[in-house]
Amino acid sequence: MSIKIIAFGQIAEITGKEVSIDAVDTNSLRLELNAQFPQLEGKKYGIAVNKKLVTNDVTLYEGDIVALMPPYSGG
């Protein structure tokens, strides 16, 4: 199943602003992103699924929108 990915900041510079990836969960999404974009290997970035930041493995469903966000600092 193809998931729509929106990337921001330095992550978007690597992947482009929008990309589609076949993945069933966020762990397989990370693996596929690293395979397609080796420059992401070792980079830290957050994953949001349908506008909610996730830290654990989350199952993805058709129509989900995933955002890749570079680290940010408060201020």
Domains of the chain plus CATH, in order, are: 2-69 (3.10.20.30)
pTM of the model: 0.86
pLDDT at 60: 96
Say yes or no to pLDDT of 73 above 90.
no
Residue 15, SS3 per DSSP: helix
Rounded to an integer, the average pLDDT of 13-35 is 94
Closest to 21 measured CA to CA, from 12, 11, 30, 8? 30
Residue 44, SS3 per DSSP: coil
Distance CA 15, CA 45 (A): 13
Say yes or no to pLDDT of 42 above 60.
yes
Residue 67, SS3 per DSSP: strand
Task: Tell me the HSE value of 10 on the side-chain side, using a 13 A CA sphere.
Answer: 9
